[in-house]
Amino acid sequence: MYTLEEKLENNQYLTKNEVAKMLRCSTMTVSRLVKKGLPVLKIGRLVRISKSDLLSFLNDFNVTG
């Protein structure tokens, strides 16, 4: 597991726009994922999402239809 400093140095934090591009969805969908428990780092009004937290969340996220 990386420390916060290592994540910041290795540019392992993404913006909502970057996450949306990765997942091929809208930023609104990313915001909904945050409301459902996707961990974020808030710096003032800036929101950053850890790549490792995103992958863990997506692995645990179960969509039922």
Q: How confident is the model at residue 1 (pLDDT cuts 50, 70, 90)?
A: low
Report pLDDT digits (tens) over 26-46.
999 999 999 999 999 998 999
Look up tokens 């091929």; give the residue: 24
Cα end-to-end distance, the chain, whole Å: 33
pTM for this structure? 0.78
Q: What is the pLDDT of residues 39-65, one digit of tens each?
A: 999 989 999 999 989 998 998 876 555
Task: Give domain limits for the chain.
Answer: 4-60
Indicate the SS3 state at residue 31: helix
> The domain at 4-60 falls in which architecture?
Orthogonal Bundle (1.10)
Does residue 17 have a pLDDT over 60? yes
